[in-house]
Structure 1
């Protein structure tokens, strides 16, 4: 796995969002996660799919003060139905935005 928060690193100077140079070149990302002029969030991972098979991917992104707090949050959310997580998320945002 590799990550970056640098849009130029991912897309490249001559790439596009449809054809980012980092993907086309198959390169690993630098791990740079800093505030910048043009930030983004990119997580790259090699996935092997067997012939005739399929793979389901689930990414849980969030914010926590410690690794143990992050693990607890992942366990909480993995135990919830996806539709329930979406409904809970909408409820929280509606509460925030409606004030």
Structure 2
């Protein structure tokens, strides 16, 4: 499982010529990303997850990673990874995220 999420990033706008690069200032970009839990550590009291964000159209292009932490439900039939995605989707940051089911 993974998530599709629109992310905003800031970057430098640079005009590239054959003999020089001209810095044009900062620009905000919005792009669709593929978000996957890459690492999960913890115990019954707290689970730490590391998310990796990739360009959706080319999942080999890594954007950045981010850490989150949640309290697992030990009574749930769902594993910690599934609970991690459920936790993320409950956050405002991921309210518009769409599930990507991997086979």
TM-score normalised by the chain length of structure 1: 0.22
**Bigger helix share:** 1
User: Greater strand share, 1 or 2?
Assistant: 2
For normalisation by structure 2, the TM-score amounts to 0.21
